[in-house]
Amino acid sequence: MAEFFQYALSGVTMGSIYAAVAVGFNLIYGTTGILNFAQGEFVMLGGMIAVSLAAFMPLPLAVAAAMLIVALCGGALEILFFRRLRSHSALHMIVITIGLSIVVREAALHVWDESVRSLPYFTGNECSSVHLAGAALSPQVFWVLGTVGLAVLVLHTFFRYSLAGKAMRACASNYEAAMLVGINTANVRTLAFSVSAGLGALAGCVISPIGMTQYDMGTDLAIKGFAAAILGGLGNPMAGVAGGLLVGLAESYSVKFLPAAYKDATAFAILLLVLFVRPHGLFGRRQGSAVREA
């Protein structure tokens, strides 16, 4: 039972990071129709920038600054690239975001080299552990769960009650209609990129002490986050949370049955399975052409 609980919590911890990536995917996909392959790079950048900044400022400030910087980068990407390329086909957009993810990753390699970095533990250190129902947990686990949970709640409130959040939902549900009622759709897209980048950066910061930060961590995160987003139903931000937790749990329990070297393959296998069997996701409604639309 204790073992079961231990696996569950480690799965939920990684799963909440996938959830953050999935929510980011959905935010951008919902408002712009672009599937941003560079989503994982936001997480990496967040962690890297926070590690660098933490050297000469207190940790909370460094995390906040990293979030802000990455959010600005995300907004800048939208303004520089996607705003002027709206007429391009899905194939072209995929290729462009892939290109961006490579350039960001290689830039990170040249700025921060290939060593593995990490932020200090938010509370305690690598030896301290909390015992809960027989499972030994790092206090950072609670930071990850708390922060991501809080961020998701804040986002949810933002969508529900703020004007900007309502504008984003309007864009996602019908782009032309949103434009007709006077919503500045271009700015909404930029905002979506910024929020999604900032959320990714936050996830990158909280996971850094236990998950480490490395220049090439983005691709795997992007795929797993995408698996989570698909599992929940693409375009629905909050369903991505459930998807992320499911992917994390599956990955964590797979270690029990398969060699640990195949752990990453499990998440990808789930992705393929969901795509082939239920491409509209577990919670999404079958929309006929939505999946088939290019």
Query: Among residue numbers 122 through 181, which ones bind another protein (CB under 8 A)?
Result: none
**Dihedral (CA of 61, 64, 69, 70) sign:** positive
Minimum distance from CB of 30 to another protein (Å)? 13
Tell me if 271 contacts another protein by CB under 8 A: yes
**Strand, helix or coil for residue 89:** coil
Size of the site for another protein (CB under 8 A): 46
Nearer to another protein, 131 or 292 (CB): 292
Q: Which residue is listed with tokens 């999946």?
A: 291
Nearer to another protein, 80 or 150 (CB): 80
Cα distances (Å, whole numbers) of residue 76 to 55, 193, 261: 26, 9, 38
Nearer to another protein, 136 or 272 (CB): 272
Tell me if 269 contacts another protein by CB under 8 A: yes
Enumerate the H helices of the chain as residue ranges. 2-32, 39-54, 59-77, 90-112, 139-161, 163-173, 175-180, 185-211, 218-232, 239-257, 263-277
Nearer to another protein, 25 or 143 (CB): 25
d(CA 264, CA 290): 29
Residue 99's φ and ψ, nearest 5 degrees, are -60, -45
d(CA 267, CA 257): 14
Contacting another protein (CB under 8 A), which of 115, 116, 163, 293?
293
Query: Among residue numbers 89 through 108, which ones bind another protein (CB under 8 A)?
Result: 90-92, 94-96, 98-103, 105-107
Minimum distance from CB of 12 to another protein (Å)? 23
Selected range binding another protein among 46-54, 120-128, 199-207, 225-233, rule: CB under 8 A: 225-233
Minimum distance from CB of 26 to another protein (Å)? 12
Is there a contact between 36 and 242 (Cβ–Cβ < 8 Å)? Answer: no
Burial of 71 (0-12, 13-18, 19+ CB in 10 A): buried
Name the residues that contact another protein, by CB under 8 A.
29, 35, 81, 84-85, 88, 90-92, 94-96, 98-103, 105-107, 109-110, 219-220, 223, 226-227, 230, 234, 259, 261-262, 264-265, 268-269, 271-272, 275-276, 279, 291-294
